[in-house]
């Protein structure tokens, strides 16, 4: 998605229903209020419950953003077209001078074939080549005509000079016979005898200088001997000096070891590569591998970052990848405050409700914007999900009243919708241990200690037992490479209002025992009666104990 002039509204990684639905609803509100386009995004895979809600209210999944950092496609590139590999050095130089470019991309049917720089052309002028170089480079006659501002009197302009040497016929015809060979290209003046000699010696081409006329006899004989005839207004010295500039750039272009970027590449990452290289321009390819444009260090000056609004989180560890390279303009959340740095002051709204969607609904009312049926369905579903259909201790009267008002707007029964959502989310038997482990998993930073906390909820006790088996098996596999110092996975029974917490790492089990002394503790788990909220009942208690250990 092209994001120029747009703001992305996005929730946390491993998004839940609140994260997705609040992003969609808030993007719609901001677009209506500001008149500027705001687009919802997601930082991870949509879970079964959220997918049910989106399908239930006929809403497409937001676009997945694996990273929110500025990409090449977000900045203003030099969209210079590619050139054909057979154009002359002189034409390539003129194109560079006219456009201010120092590197020309060489393409064929939109595929990048190579690059040539001003330095490459300058080196070609300075190097001393033998008189066979024009043939070695397979120089088209049209290049020679163009370079010498000439005219072809005999021959095919599309033919190629690929044999013989380039000679200047400054001697008399008797001496010329000793050094002109078959297939040579001979630069000479208006002397009839010299022209005749070159043709008789089977030269492939004669270049007649100073704009001198060529007799009908010479032209007729040249046709018979398959010798091309070109005239140029330049004198012999100038023609001899310029003719090497007619060589095609294919002979000098770089085709291997090219440093290429893709429009999807993160600018923060390519900046380091560009700084290490001496090149001033780098080719960029599109998603299909076709040539897109050129990027230089100058393009990165004054580069605008992507504008982002975070919903349902305010911790760096939970944010989408690349958030440090984006411009956060707003944060709408209902969790505890954590450290996330912003470049500039931002609008930060944090309220102690059970769901971000409740805050978003309040903002609709404050702005005087009517909530349509579809958006009301999304917001209602988010509140039901986060409050476990008003059973969670995080649920407030504000949340419940908002959900019921939204249910009326959407034309749904909140209790029935909740049961349908939880039933959809409870279809866990076909998921792998890894999928279950990460389906609602957040990482927190506790004073330098990384702690992962996930939650899996179900209406079915038998299903929870199978989930436990799979998650424990997965925990065994990742024991040596957890990625966090410790983690806790809540297996929550919605109907019976308790959670069994599986844990691993450092002092995880000890922390659980100390925080919940009444819990029934096993080898890697503890059963916590009445604990169903990660945000309000588990995390704060664990953190308080952690700070005293």
Domains delineated in the chain? 7-69+305-425 (3.90.1640.10), 73-124+251-300 (3.10.580.10), 138-246 (3.40.1390.20), 433-546 (3.10.310.20)
Do the beta carbons of residue 40 and residue 312 sit within 8 Å? no
Signed CA dihedral, 306, 307, 310, 315: sign only: positive
d(CA 345, CA 381): 32
CA–CA distance, 277 with 283 (Å, rounded to integer): 13
The confidence score (pLDDT) of residue 457 equals: 86
Strands 139-140 vs 160-161: parallel, antiparallel or unpaired:
antiparallel
**In whole angstroms, what is the distance from residue 364 CA to residue 370 CA?**
7
Place of tokens 């509100």: 29
Burial of 301 (0-12, 13-18, 19+ CB in 10 A): exposed
Instruction: Enumerate residues 6+ apart whose C-beta is below 8 A from 34.
Output: none
Cα dihedral angle (508, 509, 515, 517), rounded to 10 degrees?
A: 180
Compute the distance between CA of residue 50 and CA of residue 57 in angstroms, rounded to an integer.
Answer: 11
Query: Given this model, what pLDDT does residue 339 score?
Result: 64
pTM above 0.85, yes or no: no
Neighbours of 319 (CB within 10 A): 22
Hey, what's the torsion of the CAs at 285, 287, 289, 291, to 10 degrees?
-40
Distances (CA, A) of 449 to 226, 258, 324, 548: 83, 43, 20, 14
Other C-beta atoms lying within 10 Å of the C-beta of residue 96: 18
Asked if 87 contacts 142 with a C-beta cutoff of 8 angstroms, the reply is: no
- Please tell me the total number of residues recorded for the chain in this structure: 549
Q: Are 240 and 187 in contact (CB under 8 A)?
A: yes
Report how far Cα 285 is from the mean position of its chain's Cα atoms: 11
Residue 84, helix vs strand vs coil: coil
Count the helix, strand and coil residues of the chain and give each as a percent rounded to the nearest 5.
Answer: 40, 20, 40
Give the CA-trace dihedral at 254, 259, 260, 266, to 10 degrees: -160
Cβ atoms 214, 208 nearer than 8 A: yes
3-class DSSP state of 191:
coil
Tokens of 394: 């995080």
Q: Please give the C-alpha separations between residue 32 and each of 5, 38, 39, 369, 410, in angstroms, as whole numbers.
A: 15, 9, 12, 8, 19
Whether residue 460 contacts residue 483, with contact meaning beta carbons closer than 8 Å, is answered with no
Residue 312: which of 40, 97, 110, 22 has the closest Cα? 22
Nearest to 285 by CA among 258, 312, 323: 258
The Cα 118–Cα 121 span in angstroms is: 5
Residue 518 corresponds to which tokens in the numbers above? 């009444």
Q: Which among 2, 9, 1 has a CA at the least distance from the CA of 307?
A: 9
Per residue in 224-245, is it b (16+ CB within 10 Å) or e — as a string? Answer: eeebbbbbbebebeebbebbbb
- 523/510 Cα distance (integer angstroms): 11
- The alpha-carbon radius of gyration of the chain (Å, integer) is 37
Cα→Cα distances 132→43, 125, 151, 288, Å? 61, 15, 23, 40
CA distance 244 to 131: 9
Q: What is the 3-state secondary structure (H, E, C) of 274-300?
A: HHHCCCCCEEEECCCCCEEEEECHHHH
Distance CA 516, CA 521 (A): 9
Strand residues in 414-515 grouped as ranges (E)? 441-446, 449-458, 486-493, 498-504
The pLDDT tens digits along the chain (549 residues) read: 555 578 999 999 989 999 999 999 999 999 999 999 999 999 999 998 999 999 999 999 999 998 888 888 888 777 788 999 999 999 999 998 888 888 899 999 999 999 998 888 888 776 656 789 999 999 999 999 999 999 999 999 999 999 999 999 877 777 888 888 999 999 999 889 999 999 999 999 999 999 999 999 999 999 999 999 999 999 999 999 999 999 999 999 999 988 999 988 888 888 888 888 777 889 999 989 999 998 888 887 767 788 999 999 998 889 998 888 888 999 999 988 876 778 788 999 999 999 999 999 999 999 999 999 999 999 999 999 999 899 888 899 999 999 999 999 999 999 999 989 988 876 777 789 998 998 888 888 888 888 999 998 887 788 889 999 999 999 888 877 777 889 999 999 887 889 999 999 878 899 999 999 988 888 889 999 999 988 889 999 999 998 887
pLDDT of 54 reads 97
Is the four-CA dihedral 109, 113, 118, 123 of positive or negative sign? negative
């Amino acid at each position: 998605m092209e994001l120029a002039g747009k703001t992305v509204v996005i929730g946390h990684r491993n998004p839940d229903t609140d994260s997705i639905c609040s992003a969609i609803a808030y993007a719609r509100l901001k677009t209506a209020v500001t008149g500027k386009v705001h687009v919802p995004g997601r930082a991870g895979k949509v879970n079964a419950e959220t997918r049910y809600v989106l399908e239930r209210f006929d809403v497409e999944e937001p676009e997945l953003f694996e990273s929110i950092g500025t990409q090449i496609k977000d900045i203003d590139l030099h969209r210079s077209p590619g050139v054909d590999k057979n154009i002359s050095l002189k034409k390539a130089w003129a194109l560079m001078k006219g456009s201010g470019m120092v590197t020309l991309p060489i393409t064929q049917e939109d595929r990048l074939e190579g690059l040539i720089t001003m330095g490459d052309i300058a080196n070609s002028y300075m190097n001393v080549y033998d008189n066979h170089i024009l043939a070695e480079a397979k120089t088209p006659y049209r290049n020679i005509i163009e370079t010498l501002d000439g005219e072809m009197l005999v021959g095919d302009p599309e033919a190629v000079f690929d044999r013989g040497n380039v000679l200047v016929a400054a001697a008399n015809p008797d001496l010329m016979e000793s050094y002109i060979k078959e297939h040579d290209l001979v630069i000479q003046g208006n002397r009839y005898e010299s022209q005749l000699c070159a043709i008789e010696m089977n030269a492939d081409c004669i270049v007649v200088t100073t704009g001198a006329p060529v007799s009908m006899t010479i032209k007729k004989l040249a046709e018979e001997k398959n010798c091309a005839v070109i005239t140029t207004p330049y004198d012999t010295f100038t023609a001899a000096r310029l003719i090497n500039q007619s060589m095609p750039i294919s002979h000098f272009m770089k085709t291997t070891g090219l440093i290429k970027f893709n429009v999807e590449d993160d600018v923060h990452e390519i900046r380091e590569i560009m700084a290490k290289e001496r090149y001033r321009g780098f080719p960029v390819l599109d998603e299909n591998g076709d040539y897109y444009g050129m990027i230089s260090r100058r393009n990165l000056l004054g580069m605008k970052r992507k504008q982002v609004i975070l919903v349902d989180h305010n911790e760096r560890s939970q944010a989408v990848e690349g958030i440090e390279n984006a411009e956060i303009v707003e944060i709408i959340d209902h969790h505890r405050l954590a450290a996330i740095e912003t470049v500039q002051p931002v609008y930060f709204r944090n309220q102690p409700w059970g769901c971000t969607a409740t805050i978003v609904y309040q903002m609709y009312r404050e702005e005087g914007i009517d909530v349509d049926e579809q958006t009301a369905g999304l917001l209602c579903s988010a509140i039901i999900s986060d409050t476990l259909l008003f059973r969670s201790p995080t649920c407030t009267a504000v949340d419940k009243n908002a959900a019921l008002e939204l249910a009326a707007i959407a034309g749904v029964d909140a209790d029935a919708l909740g049961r349908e959502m939880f039933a959809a989310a409870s279809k866990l038997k076909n998921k792998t241990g890894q999928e279950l482990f990460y389906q609602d998993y957040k990482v927190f930073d506790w004073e330098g200690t990384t702690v992962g906390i996930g939650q899996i909820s179900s209406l079915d006790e038998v299903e929870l037992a199978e989930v436990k088996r799979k998650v424990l098996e997965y925990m065994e596999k990742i024991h040596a490479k957890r990625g966090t110092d410790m983690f806790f996975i809540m297996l929550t029974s919605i109907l019976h209002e308790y959670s069994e917490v599986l844990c691993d790492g450092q002092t995880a089990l000890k922390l659980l025992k100390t925080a919940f002394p009444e819990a029934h503790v096993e080898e890697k788990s503890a059963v916590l009666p009445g604990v169903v909220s990660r945000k309000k009942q588990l995390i704060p208690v664990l953190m308080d104990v952690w700070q005293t250990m």
